[in-house]
Amino acid sequence: MGLGGYPDVTLAKAREAARGARDQIRRGIDPIEAARVARHSLKASTAATITFRAAAEAYMAAHEASWKNPKHRAQWAATLESYAYGVIGDLGVDEITLPHILQILEPIWTSKTETASRLRGRLEMVLDWATAREYRAGLNPARWRGHLDKLLAKPSKVAKVTHHKALPIDDMPGFMIRLSGVSGAGARALEFAILTAARSGEVRGATWDEIDLDAGLWVVAAERMKAGREHRVPLSAAALSLLRKAPGAAGQDPVFSAVQGGPLSDMTVSAVLRRMKVNAVPHGFRSTFRDWVSERTSHPHEAAEMALAHTVGNKVEAAYRRGDMVAKRLRLMEDWATFCGRAKDTV
């Protein structure tokens, strides 16, 4: 067993500690185990000074490096501040029990189900962190399976599933004709998003150094993708034509710039649809694209999922799917542009 390092532990102190350890052994005591128990008791005795608020802050500090953006931490902090801290913020983590958790969740479980469900998960993670750090012991009162699932209704049974408002498939050609007549960077960004089946945020953050016009390829960096993986987007002739007509720029300049400079805001793109009086949201066009692939084409399901940059759910399928089907996806996007009536506008 270690007795400590020099110079903090002198030779005399080391000899004294060694005599003490041998004395414990003669009395049938394991000195290493005794030291471990003493450390655990000391930590347990100070657990009450670790409040839930302090534990939550420590958890967020430990994990924020793995989160995609500062907004995620802000959402964590906001939900805990709004709903949890008033009930358990100043309690020691070892004092928190089931009634506290129910006091937090029950008032919002049916009225704000999605928020309540996320909040429950965050409570569970903070308390798990506290258990792992030995600030508390026993089962987690915020756990779902085999515990809260017996006391609270299943979230999917309470909350209505709301889908992004999408345009019907057959309305797409007419809509695209109307959109082509709308001026402004917001309209062009929306048109590009539709032609590439990309998310609005990916398009608004696109820079010229991500795009290779000669190769007909747009490469979105992993840190800008929801799944955290690089996404290669084959560009149809219509999408390339739109880019070649855009104001010239290079490098880190946004492809679609705001009037005052910099990337467009999400409201700018949404405003295009409001002004056109179209009952849809930008993200809804991804649903329209997916429905069109399934109902009107024979393109592979995998090609559509890759075009949408969806994460593969099956681990076996993910392991064997090495490529990203760029050639097949290019044919898919050309067909989509043709259906939308944009192929004839290429130059």
> Domain with 122 in it: what CATH number?
1.10.150.130
Q: Note the pLDDT tens digit of each residue in 215-274.
A: 999 999 988 888 778 899 999 999 999 999 888 666 778 899 888 888 898 899 999 999
**What local confidence, expressed as pLDDT, does residue 164 receive?**
67
Exposed e or buried b per residue across 269-284, where buried means at least 16 C-beta atoms within 10 angstroms of its C-beta: bbebbeeeebebbbbb
Q: Are residues 132 and 175 in the same domain?
A: no
178 and 286 co-located in one domain = yes
Q: Are residues 38 and 137 in the same domain?
A: no
If asked whether residues 187 and 324 sit together in one domain, one would say: yes
Q: By residue range, what is the domain housing residue 297?
A: 169-345
Are 150 and 217 in the same domain?
no
Mean pLDDT of 152-165: 73
Query: 2 lies in a domain?
Result: no
Please name which of 194, 154, 202 lies closest in space to residue 176, comparing C-alpha atoms: 194
Evaluate whether residue 5 is within a structural domain: no
- Which residue from 137, 129, 134 is spatially nearest to 43, judged by alpha carbons? 134
Q: What is the pLDDT of residue 319?
A: 45
Q: What is the pLDDT of residue 331?
A: 95
Q: Is 316 or 281 the better-scoring residue by pLDDT?
A: 281
Residue where one domain finishes, among candidates 134, 158, 182: 158
Quick check: is 163 in a domain? no
CATH number of the domain at 230, please: 1.10.443.10
pLDDT given for residue 316 in this prediction: 41
What average pLDDT does the chain have?
86
Report pLDDT digits (tens) over 3-20. 778 877 788 888 888 888
For residue 172, count other CB atoms closer than 10 A to its CB: 20
- Determine, yes or no, domain membership for 37: yes
Give the pLDDT confidence of 39-95 residue by residue, as tens digits.
Answer: 766 665 554 568 999 999 999 999 887 776 677 778 898 899 999 999 999 999 999
List, for residues 298-346, the tens digit of each pLDDT value.
Answer: 998 888 999 998 875 555 445 445 567 899 999 999 999 999 987 655 5
More confident residue, 30 or 218: 218
Share of the chain above pLDDT 90, in %: 58
Average pLDDT over residues 158-185: 85
Domain presence at residue 4? no
- Residue 164 resides in a domain: no
197 and 93 housed in the same domain? no
Are 58 and 129 a contacting pair, CB within 8 Å? Answer: yes
Q: State whether 94 and 36 are in the same domain.
A: no
Question: For 208, how many CA atoms within 13 A lie in the half-sphere containing its CB?
Answer: 15
Separation of CA 290 from chain center: 22
Instruction: Provide the pLDDT for residue 345.
Output: 56
Spatial CB neighbours of 323, under 8 Å, sequence gap ≥ 6: none
Radius of gyration of the chain (CA): 29
Q: Among 108, 132, 158, where does a domain finish?
A: 158
**Do 288 and 328 lie in a common domain?**
yes
Q: What is the mean pLDDT of residues 168-182?
A: 94
Looking at the structure of the chain, the number of domains it has is: 3
Residue 1 inside a domain? The answer is: no
If asked whether residues 64 and 108 sit together in one domain, one would say yes
Considering the domain architecture, whether residues 268 and 298 belong to the same structural domain is answered as yes
Q: Are residues 128 and 235 in the same domain?
A: no
Q: What is the pLDDT of residue 11?
A: 85
Asked if residue 105 is part of any domain, the answer here is yes
**67 and 191 share a domain?**
no
